[in-house]
Structure 1
Amino acid sequence: MDIDSNNPSINGTEEVEEVENNPSLNEIGEVEQPKKGMCFNSKQEVYSFYAKYAKHLGFAIAYRTQNIGQDGKVKYFGIECTRARKRTKRSEVHPLEPSLSSFIECKAKVRATLQKDGRFKLTTAVLEHTHDLIPTDSRHFAMNKRIVTPVKRRLEINDEAGIGVAKNFHSIVVEAGGYEALTFDERDARNHIEIMRRLRLGVGDAESIALYFHRMQQQNSNFYSAIDLDEDGRMRNLFWADARSRGVYKAFGDVVSFDTTYLTNKYDMPFAPFVGVNHHGQSILLGCGLLSNENTETFVWLFKEWLSCMSDAPPKAIITDQCKAMQNAIEVVFPQARHRWCLWHIMKKIPEKLRGYAQYESIKFALQNAVYDSFTKDEFDEEWQAMIAKFNLHDNDWLGVLYSERHRWIPAYVKDVFWAGMSTTQRSESMNAFFDGYVNSKTTLKQFVEQYDNALRSKVEKEMKADFKSRNKLYDCLTMYEFEKQFRAVYTNAKFKEVQVELKRLLYCRANLVKEEGAICTYHVKEAILVGEKMKTVECVVYFNTSECEMQCMCQWFEFRGIMCAYAITVLLERCIYHVPDKYIVSRWRKDIERGYTCILTTYTKAGAVVNAKLHDKYHKMLDEILEIAANDNGKHQVLDLGLIEIKDRVRKDQSSSAIR
């Protein structure tokens, strides 16, 4: 998977250029300079080596290019001087508002390629810079800034004593013997103090959280909570998931959305819910956290706790906003999960990023057309490049980054993976609005834990109502085709309505058999669509395997949403097939899908009063007792395994017999 399409390595020719060593850089003390052929054990090791070299000489570095293979492993990557990019000519857009830029097209860089032995080898080492190098500048670069723990504590004590940030920082400068002796500046000190202020909970906050966690644990031992403490033992981050949320994950944890929104204006703590989607397409909570900040370290801690809570079963796909810290943490904790950016988050930035252009409306239309109307990767690339050339957008950094990361958000690049519909405006808004009506910008932590149960109670009630309607009410069929009745009989009402949206499109679709090779038939399906006030014809390719009764549509709607598309259904009709094969009935959308979590005892529903919930709690306690008896005895574990397998098989057999009767 390429992140830099202009990279020569993509075309199979590895770049091996190396500028002759600058004589003035040969003797640089204990810091070794990069040389082509050097090998390192990991990507991080390459970065650390180059960072040490850069700090010694007086320049900053950043990752630039990267290539990820089909196996998810990094094949090669590049690190360059932060002054490498071409300067953006913003004056063409805002001639009276010139902006500062450090870009000067510096060529200094290294590139490393993965070898067969798993190590990374430097294949490029360009040492020459197009700007002056001043070692004393290194302390001003963000990559070199840090505040050691004793200094952090001094800043916090002074702040608690009511000393202003400026005087607070100045006292540290005096004690250190000058600005040059520090590895941070006043802005860094201010940021740290603001983060620490978030951790000073108000009266009753810490107690409320502790009491809530204790109450949930007493109610159900499957309640999971974790508290991350700082060096001084103060609460820094929180994570928890109740027993129902853990049960929900077993049924609907394949696709997860993660986002942060601010809980309170007093503590400014990011609230971070993990959200999934159930068989009705409704948002469901899979755990949540309260964080002190939004850096990579914090997200790694949160993701690891969440993964541990969910029995170390990672999601298959995860969707977030365009956050580098989240992306870094996902690569560490969920390396095999497919990660994409929320399309809505990106598209809503169009006015902010592009409104300054005279042809803004035309640019916006072209951008939306390329994003939403491209069936294939090649079609998108062609439309995008045409837009860039037509409106002379080559120097727009925002668009440049979006294109280099197109595999993370463009529908044509991500539709080969199942996302359960979690890519629309509705899903993004519902993530942030999960606790709407119960939590707002002025909610304190104490109020939050009091309202948490009320919010979840409302969500559970909505799911139960949707279950009831799907069991007891049916939508009228739009057609006489048997497969519509087939979908109506098994799918929830919400998902059946999505099927009917595709059925309505059949009126405008026509299939034409263009090639037949053995069992594979190739169809071109044309659809008439309305664009503005004009009719337009689009064409999609559908492959049909006659021996297996399998279909592959170029639009990949089924792979993306789990709903058969109008193009595939048109081909079925062309072949006089009126019954959909079982493989195209997605069990995730069934109204009778098994959901063990519905009988889990909780503090926020009255479901615990029904027989199923009481039995669930009874058997759960019994299993806990058995596990305690088994302890670490392998012989007893084998007996337990065989016994549970036998019980499971007998219950399933009895369930099947009951269904037949």
Structure 2
Amino acid sequence: MQSRLKRMNGQSPRVIFGCKKAGKHVPQKNVDPDKHRNCTSSRECCPCQIVVRSPRELFPRWRITSLVTDHCHELKKCDILESNQRDKRLSAEMLQLITTHAGKCDPKFIVYMLQHEWPDKAFDLRTVANAIQKAKNSAHIGGSEAAELHKILQDKTRNDKDWFFATDLDENGRLRRMFWMSPSQRYLYRRYRDVVISDNTYKTNRFGMPLNVIVIIDNAGKSRLVGCSLVSGESVEDYEWILEQLLAASDNVYPHIIFVDEDPAMEAACATTISKTTVLNCIWHLRQNLNKNLHGALGKDWNDFISAFWTTRNALTASDFERRWSEHVAVFGVDKPKIEGYLKRISEKREHWAWPWVGTRFTAGIQSTQRVESMNAAIKRAVNGKTSLPALFEAIEKKLSNEAQTSKYILYKTDTTVDPATSTFVQQMFADVIDANNRYLGIAAKSQMKLEMSRSVLYQSNPHTGIDACAPRSIEGGDFEEIERSSKDDREMSSLQSIQTIVGSDRIVQIFDVTFRLDTERKSLQHILLLADGSYICTCLLLQNSGFVCRHYFHLMQVSDRCKYHVRLIPMRWFKEELQDLTDLDLSGAFLSAKTQKTVAQVGSAEGEPASSFMSDIMKVFPSVPSLSGVDKRNLSKKRRIGEISGLMKNIMDTVNSNPEVFETVKDGLNRVIVRGAGEEGMKDPHYTKTKGRPRTSRIKSSMETKKKSTKCGVCSGEGHNSRQHS
């Protein structure tokens, strides 16, 4: 109902209560009705009204003088409940339901649940929203979300000593940084630290703190989250602190390779904190930064530049890369200081992103941070920019639980099902190889090499004649998407000449040319170099880059007695986890061949080298190929730690009793350690200033995203280009 007051001599002798649909809509604009917004009015000239009066002499004594109860429209239940201003107070049961779902459901959905449970009561959205906010505030410990999250992590550490977390506070006691790793995450990181991916994601908490996530690839080929940290910014100090905590949680176990975006702060932190680690740049972020820094400056030359850049980046040899860079890329920066400076900066770190240097490293087959971006998307489906810190932690823990369950399900499904894709011919041809893979290897290696075996029958080979008429080539394709597809499309990833130069002719026993049977133009030409120790190198670099035996070598096993298979060709990280833990795992078994399944003890060496020296040459050529033996055994057992601490305590007591200065130093150091682990009561939330109004951008957008509005030229007023690109 709506009321209208009729005033007389400063009094209100008459009040009219009418329906909210009473009256007729009067448009404010009558110039051009076609330009009015497409909207309707709720007014329907409803006659329902109540008129009350009060005599002027007896004011305020009200009486009803007119009553019309008829409506010209249908009454909804919500209108009846809204018009009936009954008690808005919420019972204890209602407050309990609101507390249970506070922060997890939308306020309107909570109102819907309340109306479902109590259909005869009217619920005001504002009242319910206030109750939700009150429940959120009461859930915090001392009003601090940082203290609550600290207490949650501290409780987990008390229950399981393998939990690790660290916090960093500013001078006012506010949370500045926080890092945590669960026992399973520490286990996975130590085991699969050969390839690590790190990236930041935003709008995951209401304090605007970036969430840094660290991801590895397990032996099933799945992405696993192994570390999380909240930081106040993206400075070098922030990233150094994250990497220091990562080393502290893993007992100073360095990652072999880490993929990062082109953030200079992260690269500087890696150089100072994990100097033993090889840092590689994500090619997707490389493409974004090129577009951001050079697209506008190059103008109409952009398309020619980006095509030349990716052709140069995908060169198969370092010398070819240098030649193409100087002839086809650097020329775009002539007489343009901004472009020349940017190209010089990225050229100085070409070892981090150019294929001649990246292609020979073991990267588990990845070239970008796409896996961690997928992890970020999964996390952000459960949180948003208004999520509390404890709720963010719970969402991440739920994600980890789902990952573990998925890993177990994949293992169960693989062990209980038969792969129908492998033909009977292939199963008979590589029976011993498949049996060895089933006994030793994990899901990813088994499935990938079954696929390579199936494709091997589609190839043909001939001994190399020594004539390599092919000019210097690169991986075909002009963008990063083509690079991801190149390994699947059977394209050459390195040149025969470069591999011969690195290996040396004295180590090479024989060279084969392998091509696809239907490839008349020999675009799929690959070269396989058989080495003296029984290993091989193929120009597809699948073994070096991903750790899997390629289809070209499986084909040679069918036509050459010299080509043998041994499970030690595969890096230990692709083995079953229970076998990686064994310190006495015997891998000195026989070499396996195709067709006849004949056992050969030594192959490819006139001196008869023992199996223990297998792959020694390939390890020298490509030292980045990891051969992890599982989790480091440097971790002290609990009994040994207790024994060492007891011995240290006796020495400390003898020392501090005779020297008061040493006593004060030891006391201060112990107090700092204890306070760092038990200071949640005084911990304050991170400093966050919320500005008025709508933020400048609703979300952080990519520089490659398509704009809703087309660019308009200031010269010709045409769309699709600006004045600089006008021609």
TM range (shorter): 0.5 to 0.7
**Deviation digits for residues 96-123 of structure 1, max 9, x if unmatched?**
xxxxxxxxxxxxxxxxxxxxxxxxxxxx
Q: Deviation digits for residues 126-167 of structure 1, max 9, x if unmatched?
A: xxxxxxxxxxxxxxxxxxxxxxxxxxxxxxxxxxxxxxxxxx
Instruction: Report the CA distance shift for 1:426/1:465 in structure 2 as closer, same or farther (over 3 A).
Output: farther
Rounded Cα–Cα distance in structure 1 between residues aligned with 2:313 and 2:179: 36
Post-superposition offset of 1:502: 3.9
Question: Counterparts in 2 of 1:422-501, with a 5 A limit?
Answer: 422-424=366-368, 426-433=370-377, 435-476=379-420, 477-478=422-423, 479=426, 480-482=428-430, 483=433, 486-487=436-437, 490-501=440-451
Q: What is the CA-CA distance between 1:283 and the residue it aligns to?
A: 1.4
The verdict on how the C-alpha distance between 1:537 and 1:331 changes in structure 2, with shifts beyond 3 A counting, is: same
Q: Counterpart in 1 of 2:536?
A: 551
Question: Pairwise mapping of residues 102-141 of structure 1 onto structure 2 (< 5 A)?
Answer: none
**Structure 1 equivalent of residue 300 of structure 2:** 358
Once the two structures are superposed, what CA deviation does each residue of 1:631-657 show, in whole Å capped at 9, x if it has no partner?
3549x9xxxxxxxxxxxxxxxxxxxxx
In structure 2, what is the equivalent of residue 276 of structure 1? 216
TM-aligned CA deviation for residue 340 of structure 1: 0.9
Instruction: Judge conservation of contact 1:529–1:538 (CA < 8 Å) in 2.
Output: no
Structure 1 alignment gaps of length 5 or more: 1-200, 598-621, 637-661
Decide which of 463, 484, 498 is 1:512's aligned counterpart. Answer: 463
- Displacement after TM superposition at 1:344 (Å): 2.2
1:310 & 1:526 partners in 2: Cα distance? 44
Is the 2:215–2:224 contact (alpha carbons within 8 Å) kept by the matching residues of 1?
yes
Decide whether aligned partners of structure 1 residues 247 and 226 sit closer, same or farther in structure 2, where only a CA change above 3 A counts.
same
Displacement of 1:385 after TM fit?
A: 3.8
Matches of 2:515 and 2:335, distance apart in 1: 34
> CA contact under 8 A between 2:514 and 2:528: conserved in structure 1?
no
Contact 1:529 1:536 in 2 (8 A): no
Q: Say if 1:414 and 1:389 are closer, same or farther in 2 by CA, change over 3 A.
A: closer
Question: Among residues 570, 585, 591, which one is paired with 2:570 in the alignment?
Answer: 585
Q: Which has the larger radius of gyration?
A: 2
- Following superposition, the deviation at residue 565 of structure 1 comes to 2.8
What is the CA–CA distance in structure 2 between the aligned matches of 1:209 and 1:222, rounded to whole Å? 18
Residue 257 of structure 2 corresponds to: 317
Provide the rounded CA distance (Å) in 1 between the counterparts of 2:335 and 2:375: 34
Per-residue CA deviation, residues 278-323 of structure 1 (Å, 9 max, x unaligned), is 0111111222110011111121122112101101111111111111
Q: 2:370 and 2:446 mapped to 1: Cα distance?
A: 18
What is the rounded CA distance, in whole Å, between the counterparts of 1:495 and 1:202 in structure 2? Answer: 51
Match status 1:375 vs 2:337: no
Check conservation: 1:509, 1:566, Cα contact below 8 A: no
Offset of 1:324 from its aligned partner?
Answer: 1.1
Aligned 1:387-406 pairs, distance under 5 A: 387-388=328-329, 395=336, 396=339, 397-406=341-350
Distance 1:498 1:376, change over 3 A: farther
Q: Please give the alpha-carbon distance, in whole angstroms, between the structure 2 residues aligned to 1:631 and 1:481.
A: 59
* C-alpha distance in 2 between matches for 1:631 and 1:585: 41
Aligned pairs for 1:528-567 (under 5 A) are: 537=523, 539-546=525-532, 548-567=533-552
Partners of 2:378 and 2:517 lie apart in 1 by 35
AA matched with 1:448: L
Verify the 8 A CA contact 1:257 1:274 in the aligned structure 2.
yes
Question: Aligned runs of 1:69-468 on 2, under 5 Å?
Answer: 203-264=143-204, 266-353=206-293, 355-356=295-296, 357-372=299-314, 374-388=315-329, 395=336, 396=339, 397-424=341-368, 426-433=370-377, 435-468=379-412
In structure 1, what residue type is equivalent to 2:561?
C
- Corresponding residue SS for 1:631: helix
Could you tell me how far 1:625 is from its partner in structure 2?
5.0
Q: Is the 8 A contact 2:219 2:573 kept in 1?
A: yes
CA 1:441/1:521 → structure 2, altered by over 3 Å: closer, same or farther? farther
Q: Secondary structure at the match of 2:265?
A: helix
**Which residue in 2 is equivalent to 1:628?**
642
Against the structure 1 CA distance between its residues 502 and 235, is the aligned structure 2 distance closer, same or farther, given a 3 Å change threshold? same
- Three-state SS of the structure 1 residue aligned to 2:215 is strand
User: For the residues of structure 2 that align with 1:518 and 1:300, how far apart are their CA atoms?
Assistant: 45
RMSD: 3.6
Deviation at 1:593, TM superposition (A): 4.2
| CA–CA distance in structure 1, aligned partners of residues 640 and 522 of structure 2 | 66
Distance apart, 1:417 and its partner CA: 2.3
1:394/1:375 CA distance change after superposition, 3 Å: farther
Supply the AA of the counterpart residue of 2:530. F
For 2:602, the equivalent position in structure 1 comes to none
Q: Is the 8 A contact 1:511 1:571 kept in 2?
A: no
CA contact (8 A) 2:363 2:546 kept: yes
Distance 1:417 1:508 in 2: 26
Q: 1:575 corresponds to which residue? A: 560
Q: What is the letter of the counterpart of residue 583 of structure 1?
A: R
Bigger relative contact order (CA 8 A; separation at least 6): 2
Q: Distance in 1 between matches of 2:237 and 2:286?
A: 24
Task: Give the 3 Å change call, closer, same or farther, for CA 626–518 of structure 1 in structure 2.
Answer: closer
Q: State the AA in 1 paired with 2:285.
A: H
Partner of 1:151: none
Aligned counterparts of 2:197 and 2:517: Cα–Cα separation in 1:
32
Amino acid at match of 1:481: M
Structure 1: distance between partners of 2:210 and 2:546: 30
TM-score computed with the length of structure 1 as normaliser? 0.55
Are residues 344 and 524 of structure 1, via their aligned partners in 2, closer, same or farther at CA, if it must alter by over 3 Å? farther
The answer to whether the 8 A contact 2:527-2:538 is kept is: yes
Alpha-carbon contact 1:415-1:557 (below 8 Å) kept: no
- The range that moved more, 363-372 or 212-221, is 363-372
State the secondary structure of the residue aligned to 1:240: strand
1:329 Cα deviation after fit: 1.1
**SS of aligned partner of 2:360:** coil
For 1:399 and 1:505, the matched residues in 2 are separated by 42
Cα 1:316–1:554, aligned 2, differ >3 Å: closer, same or farther? same
**3-state SS of paired residue (2:367):** coil
Give me the whole-angstrom Cα distance separating, in 1, the residues matched to 2:462 and 2:386.
57
- Name the structure 2 match of 1:188: none
Change (3 A) 1:487 1:428: same
* Secondary structure of 1:276 counterpart: strand
Matches of 2:511 and 2:553, distance apart in 1: 10
Secondary structure at the aligned position of 1:253 is classed as coil
- 1:342 is displaced (CA, Å) by 1.4
How high is the TM-score relative to the length of structure 2? 0.50
* Secondary structure at the counterpart of residue 641 of structure 2: helix
Distance change (3 Å), C-alpha of 1:514 and 1:574: farther
State the alpha-carbon separation in 1 of the partners of residues 440 and 183 from structure 2.
28
Gap change, CA 1:511 and 1:236, over 3 Å in 2: farther
Q: Residue 339 of structure 1: SS of its match in structure 2?
A: strand
Aligned amino acid, residue 509 of structure 2: C
Unpaired segments of 5 or more residues in structure 2?
1-140, 467-503, 583-635, 651-727
Cα shift at 1:265 = 6.4
In structure 2, C-alpha distance between the alignment counterparts of 1:528 and 1:384, rounded to whole Å: 32
Alignment partners' CA distance in 2, 1:524 and 1:492: 30
